[in-house]
Amino acid sequence: MNKYNELLVTDLQGHWIWFKVRDGVYLLDRPGLERRLSEGVPSLKLGVRVEAIRGQYVYTSAGRRGPYDYVAIAEGAVRRFSHIYGEVTRLPGLQVDVKSDIGLSGITVVYNKKLSEAYFSWIVEIDRGVYRVGLADRCCVVDKLRKLVKMVGGTPVGKPFGGGVLAGPPLKRLVYGNVALLGDAAGLTKPLSGGGIILAIKSGASFGEALRTGDPSAYEYSMRPTILRLSAARAVYELMYVKGFVHEALRIFHGSEFLAIDYDDHVKTLALAMATSRKAPRALVGALRLLISRGAGGPST
Ligand SMILES: Cc1cc2nc3c(=O)[nH]c(=O)nc-3n(C[C@H](O)[C@H](O)[C@H](O)COP(=O)(O)OP(=O)(O)OC[C@H]3O[C@@H](n4cnc5c(N)ncnc54)[C@H](O)[C@@H]3O)c2cc1C
């Protein structure tokens, strides 16, 4: 639907960092994408809930089904079945489209504790004068979204969309016996942004390919580099969000402009941005100070 080549990171209190995104970030027509992906899948049963998984059978609101050679859990952020395979940080998230004349263009990522203490909020121009504004945080997202809408002088033009935003870590393994875990259910999200659409598609395609070749464990193997990358991003999440370094980084790098070489690999992007900045040593000292002073389980925000 839309392509963005720029991203502004700000606290809305005078500090900002600007990223030029090399390959762009795409806004998707998500219901359209889901319709497209479901085309040619004759066995898709809409409106039927899985209520239990036992052995090779699934028990649904429409009765028992199976036996299946493999059961793929792709239940999203609810993680009702998948939580037994490992915990993933889940924050409530909420967004709404608003009309506003705030005049921001492209994607704006906001790190302001009054709007989100534990994560961040976003203001994305989806059409001229129409913005998708949202946030994820530990609590109170309805009140905080109201505050954000007021802050941008917005008038809602659509229904709010909400759900769990997952900040990782990814599960260490994706295949357990005859059960495979995909997408959010497997914690396959980018910890620094909660973005998981591309990873859900990637894991689905990879598992499908593994089934076609008759070797489901190939799914686990092909996703290994992604899991390692997301685990590294999760470590950066701990520093940035749990220890709160993102706010200090915003002050240190205020006014900087960087090239985001890979929007899907936040760690690579941040590392290269640091490598090209003369402010990097100051940031490293700040990060180390934070790690040492709060490393022994001290206050986290
Ligand atoms: C407010 C918000 C904004 C977001 N913005 C972005 C973004 O900009 N970019 C991005 O990449 N990601 C974003 N995400 C994250 C993204 O939505 C998820 O990472 C992605 O949808 C994961 O896909 P999935 O297929 O694993 O799960 P889902 O898309 O959640 O799909 C899971 C499906 O399983 C179904 N289901 C669940 N339980 C059962 C059951 N028991 N029986 C049968 N069916 C069941 C659900 O109804 C659903 O249809 C956002 C999330 C939120 C909440």
pLDDT tens digit sequence for 46-82: 899 999 999 999 999 999 999 999 999 999 999 999 9
Q: Which atom, in ligand 1's list, is nearest to the CA of 49?
A: 42
The predicted model gives 159-183 an average pLDDT of 96
* Residue 136: burial class (beta carbons within 10 Å; 0-12, 13-18, 19+): buried
Domain containing residue 193: CATH number: 3.50.50.60
Q: Are residues 177 and 113 in the same domain?
A: no
Per residue in 136-169, pLDDT (tens digit) is: 999 999 999 999 999 999 999 999 999 999 999 9
Q: Are residues 73 and 193 in the same domain?
A: yes
Q: Judge if the beta carbon of residue 93 lies within 6 A of ligand 1.
A: yes
Give me the pLDDT at residue 280, please. 82
**How far, in Å, from the CA of 76 to the mean position of ligand 1?**
5
The predicted model gives 174-178 an average pLDDT of 95
Per-residue pLDDT at 297 exceeds 60? no
Alpha-carbon torsion, ordered 106, 109, 112, 118, to 10 deg = 150
Q: Are residues 213 and 257 in the same domain?
A: no
Q: Judge if the beta carbon of residue 78 lies within 6 A of ligand 1.
A: yes
pLDDT confidence bin for 298, thresholds 50/70/90: very low
Q: Are residues 173 and 262 in the same domain?
A: no
The predicted model gives 228-238 an average pLDDT of 94
- How many domains in the chain? 3
Q: Are residues 77 and 62 in the same domain?
A: yes
Tokens encoding 156: 């809602």
Closest of 183, 263, 188 to residue 226, by C-alpha = 188
Could you tell me if residue 301 is inside a domain? no
Could you tell me if residue 34 is inside a domain? no
**How far, in Å, from the CA of 277 to the mean position of ligand 1?**
36
Per-residue pLDDT at 223 exceeds 70? yes
Beta bridge partners of 92: 164
Domain containing residue 160: CATH number: 3.30.9.10
The predicted model gives 175-202 an average pLDDT of 96
Tokens encoding 27: 């806004």
Q: Are residues 233 and 269 in the same domain?
A: no
Could you tell me if residue 84 is inside a domain? yes
Give me the pLDDT at residue 42, please. 81
Q: Are residues 140 and 282 in the same domain?
A: no
Q: Which atom, in ligand 1's list, is nearest to the CA of 74?
A: 26
What span, in angstroms and rounded, lies between the C-alpha atoms of 178 and 249? 45
Give me the pLDDT at residue 294, please. 57
End of a domain among 127, 147, 166?
Answer: 166
Contacts of 11 (CB under 8 A, 6+ apart): 110, 111, 112, 247, 250
Residues recorded for the chain: 301
Give me the pLDDT at residue 267, please. 74
Give me the pLDDT at residue 169, please. 98
Decide which of 216 and 169 is more confident: 169
Could you tell me if residue 115 is inside a domain? yes
Could you tell me if residue 10 is inside a domain? no
Q: Are residues 68 and 204 in the same domain?
A: yes
Per-residue pLDDT at 293 exceeds 60? yes
For residue 157, how far is the Cα from the chain centroid? 24
Per residue in 11-43, pLDDT (tens digit) is: 999 999 999 998 899 999 988 998 998 887 888
Q: Where are the alpha helices (DSSP H) in 170-297?
A: 197-212, 217-237, 245-252, 266-275, 280-293
Q: Are residues 49 and 194 in the same domain?
A: yes
Best probe residue, ligand 1, of 197, 223, 263, 265 (max atoms within 8 Å of C-beta): 197
Could you tell me if residue 17 is inside a domain? no
Supply the residue whose CA is at minimum distance from atom 38 of ligand 1.
75
What span, in angstroms and rounded, lies between the C-alpha atoms of 260 and 24? 9
**How far, in Å, from the CA of 262 to the mean position of ligand 1?**
23
Contacts of 273 (CB under 8 A, 6+ apart): 19, 256, 258, 259, 260
Q: Judge if the beta carbon of residue 156 lies within 6 A of ligand 1.
A: no
Beta bridge partners of 161: 95
Decide which of 276 and 103 is more confident: 103
Q: Are residues 67 and 185 in the same domain?
A: yes
pLDDT confidence bin for 209, thresholds 50/70/90: very high
Tokens encoding 251: 């002050």
Could you tell me if residue 18 is inside a domain? no
Supply the residue whose CA is at minimum distance from atom 7 of ligand 1.
195
Q: Are residues 228 and 82 in the same domain?
A: yes
As a whole number, the mean pLDDT across the chain is: 91
Q: Judge if the beta carbon of residue 189 lies within 6 A of ligand 1.
A: yes
Q: Are residues 102 and 134 in the same domain?
A: yes
How would you list the strands of the sheet with 50-54, edge to edge?
50-54, 57-60, 63-65
Q: Judge if the beta carbon of residue 134 lies within 6 A of ligand 1.
A: yes
The proportion of the chain whose per-residue pLDDT surpasses 90, expressed as a percent, equals: 74
End of a domain among 215, 238, 261?
Answer: 238
Per-residue pLDDT at 104 exceeds 50? yes
What span, in angstroms and rounded, lies between the C-alpha atoms of 106 and 124? 6
End of a domain among 166, 189, 215?
Answer: 166
Q: Which atom, in ligand 1's list, is nearest to the CA of 185?
A: 26
What span, in angstroms and rounded, lies between the C-alpha atoms of 243 and 247? 10
User: Which range of residues forms the domain containing residue 286?
Assistant: 239-293
